[in-house]
Structure formats: structure tokens, C-alpha cells
Amino acid sequence: MAVIEQYDVVALTEDVAKDNLRIGSVGTVIEKWNEDAYEVAFSAEKTGIDYAQVVLKKIRS
């Protein structure tokens, strides 16, 4: 399994309905809290302005 580090670009593998994020949304890891939790910022492609910043848990396969 790949190691996720700060500033890696990641994509959602499932919807995060409470934050209105859809599967496939791409964000940047801005903080690695531990091996399973990451703070990820999602930005608008045209403006670069963040529209969501959430803490996500890594799904183990």
C-alpha cells in the first residue's frame, strides 16, 4: 500500500456527503495527523480557492 505524505495529491474513493464532496474529487494533503488520518484541502481548479478542508481517514484495502 502506498504511503501518503504531506502535499500529496489524493482522490476520494467514496462520497463525503456531509462536506458535499463526490467520489473522484481531488485534493492536497495539508497535514498528516497519523498513519490513518489526513487533513485535505479541495480547491477550485480555475481560482485555486479552497472550497473544502476536511480531515479524512485512509481506507485500508
Average pLDDT of the residues in 2-24? 94
Model pLDDT, residue 25: 95
Whether the per-residue pLDDT at 60 is higher than 90: the answer is no
Whether the per-residue pLDDT at 54 is higher than 70: the answer is yes
Q: Grade residue 34 by pLDDT with cuts at 50, 70 and 90.
A: very high
Which among 2, 58, 5, 3 has a CA at the least distance from the CA of 31?
A: 5
Model pLDDT, residue 51: 93
Model pLDDT, residue 2: 78
